Structures are given as C-alpha cells and as structure tokens.
Structure 1
C-alpha cells in the first residue's frame, strides 16, 4: 500500500496540470457556436472554472486525509473504462473511455448540465414539441423565443419548437424566421427578408 500513499511531489503537480487542462478546455469550448444546447454556456464560464477548481481541491484534500494517491483515481477510471469497453464488445484500448466519460461529466456538472438537459423550455407559455412533430413545419413562419446560437427555440402557431439556424447564422430573440428544411430530427430555419415598402 506504500505505492498508493499520497505523495505531494507527484499528486499536487498532477492536480494542477489537470485543473489547467480543464480550464483551458472550458475556455475553448464555451467559445464555440455549434454547441448542441440552447443554453448560453459562455455566460456560465466563470462559475464553471470555480466549480472545477473546487472539485479538484476537494479531491486532493480527501486523498491527503485518507493517504491515497491522487494519480490512482486516473488508474481507476482507466480500469472502469476498460471493463465497460470489454463488456460492450470493445477492446483494451477502450480504457480511455473511462477518463473521457469522467471528463465529460465533470464539464457538464461544471456548466450546469447544458447538454444532458437538452434545450430546456425558456418561457412560461407554450410547450416544446417532440421531434416527430417538427417535420410538418417546413414552410411555416414563426418568431424566435430565445437566441439561436445556432440552436434555440421558435414559437409557431402558439407552440414552441427546438430548431437550428439553417445556415449557422446567429439570430437574436424576436427574429421572424421561416422553417426551410428538416434535418437530423430538427427543423432548420432562416431569417425572413424584410418587407419592401413600394409606396
């Protein structure tokens, strides 16, 4: 068990590197415009940084109190990932899945689960329609009830639908749009042209 004892010379730098990697990734990820959620993750970035730092400080304290090597957590995650990969028909290289899954869950928790809680309803009125209903919307017009970055919500005939911008254009709330296509289970909308005044 001596090998699994807490070693500040190893565990403290490893924790610092891990936290730095998370913060770096958070900064890059929050700046992307193709995140599959209608939640503004960029506004949650400062809190996400604090949460992940607090998580690893707590993990270090627990490891120090029970005299358990911090690096062994990574080994456990690799082992769990390897077991899952083998059970599901993967190979030994699938052990990295454990680390990937843990990192994904930490990111989700840090940002308040923006992707696991998909496209939450942002208004008190109306309801989010199921994806099966949205294939019938092509050609209909509506108004965005949340910003499209490039996904968000649109109200059409009193019902709120989760949609995406057809060309990746970022649209503000209150924009008039038309459903132009249906792709991968989601309606795609385009900004309606401004009416011309011929008078």
Structure 2
C-alpha cells in the first residue's frame, strides 16, 4: 500500500472516530435531558442515527472486501491458453504475476486429467497476457505430512508438474508445486 492509501485510511479513521464521538455526546446529552425531566427522544434518536453511520460504513466495507477479495478456489483449465484477464482480480497483482490467498485449487491439466488440492496460496504467472505457470504451496501441519503430500501431488500431477519439499519451512515443512501452461493462443 502506498503512502496515499495510508493517508486515506488515517483520514477515514479520524472521521469515523469523530462521528462515533458525536453520537456518544448526543446519547449522553439525551441522558442529561431525561434527568432534567424533559423529552430526550429527539436527542436519543439523533445519537442512534449518528452511531448507525459508522456501523453501516464498516458493514458495507467488510461486505465489499468479501465479495471482491481473493476467491476461495482458483479454477483453471490448462488444456487451452488462459488469458490473465479471465482470472479473478486480487489485491496483489504484479507485472507477470497474481498472488491469491486461496485455500483450494482445481486444475484441468494439459493432458485432460483433473487435479484438486487444499493449498495455502496460489501464484499465477503470465507473459503477454496469458498464463504460463501456476504455482501453489501448502504448509505441513504435522510431522511426516510434507513427504506424504509431496508423493500424492507428484502422483496426481504426473508429468504435468513439479513438486518439491522445503523441509526448513515452519515446524513440519512445506510442499510447493508448479504446473506449466502453454501460453500460445
């Protein structure tokens, strides 16, 4: 995130805090009016309305982030060239690469076989607007899982992909795999 994004977040945060403070002041004033014996309803409902603004703003922001964030599953058919523009948008696009925090991958390999796996992340590499390679990884959660997972992925990917184990990652290692795609349209 650039400096402009950080400033925007800071400004929006200050505005939301000011709105919350104004709502609380109105509710406290409504309580004081009630103690004096007068009608506190206008101040009370004004305070509730003012407090509803930041709540609705945050709810809309969270919903938007859920709808536009990383997809849970990356699905690609690698039998034909895949245009990078056909992939879901993400928050971390770099020239030649998209980084997804997806937790599942579904591939149709160039030979027509299907491959599915639970993963910790997916990188989609591209050149000239077409996918050239898909890499994904998964951290082993228990002892011995990395070797078993690597063997399973090697078997399921066949000659379409490469699999390697990073034994020094975390407590139990990590398995990484790469599948090449033909970018020729």
> How high is the TM-score relative to the length of structure 2?
0.30
> How high is the TM-score relative to the length of structure 1?
0.29
Higher strand share: 2
Higher relative contact order (CA 8 A, sep 6+): 1
